[in-house]
Amino acid sequence: MPQYDLKTILSTFTKTNGQRRSVFNKAKIGGLGSPIVTLFFFSLPLISYGLLFNPYVFHILGIATAIVAYIVSMSLIMIIVFFITWKIKNDVVRIVSPSWEYYFPGVDFKLVVANSKTPYNDFYKYYAEVKDIKQSEEALHEQLLEAFAKMQEENRELLNAIQRDNNKN
């Protein structure tokens, strides 16, 4: 029996309109929700600005040093955002993968959520088509199984190449 139901799993990496989330949502599986994380990301430049350009620090640094420090801090913030997003994605994949394997045996969850070209790139398109239909979780599961079979058939060569590469390692 899976730890998480299918709709909970899907809500971690898809938006309500069926599109891919930039920041995965850990709220339903025991973590922070993506709106809170996104708000934190947007607050980082403002915090940096407030720290560097307040009257006390600005007087000490001067305009040129403050601007350079702000640019450097923006670079560090971009790195922080990347690593937090990467960590959240890896945590979601690790936590949800056993339940995903129960619903979709043989479909690699990492390939479904990957940003690169995979056999399952069209997953979000198929999911957006079927998610708005008021249906039971079993019906949604059946439609997604059909969609995965269709994607695997359409991308047979890529799937075979990935399997051959995995067998080499």
What are the residue boundaries of the structural domains of the chain, listed by start?
Answer: 19-97, 104-169
Residue whose token pair is 């139901």: 5
Model's pTM, two decimal places?
Answer: 0.84
Predicted confidence (pLDDT) per residue in 32-78, tens digit: 899 999 999 999 999 999 999 999 999 999 999 999 999 999 999 99
**Is a pLDDT exceeding 70 seen at residue 169?**
no
Give CA torsion, residues 119, 124, 130, 133, to 10 deg: 170
Distance between CA atoms of residues 104 and 98, nearest Å? 10
Distance CA 1, CA 44 (A): 41
Tell me which residue has tokens 């339940």.
99
Neighbours of 164 (CB within 10 A): 9
Q: What is the pLDDT confidence band of residue 106, given thresholds at 50, 70 and 90? A: confident
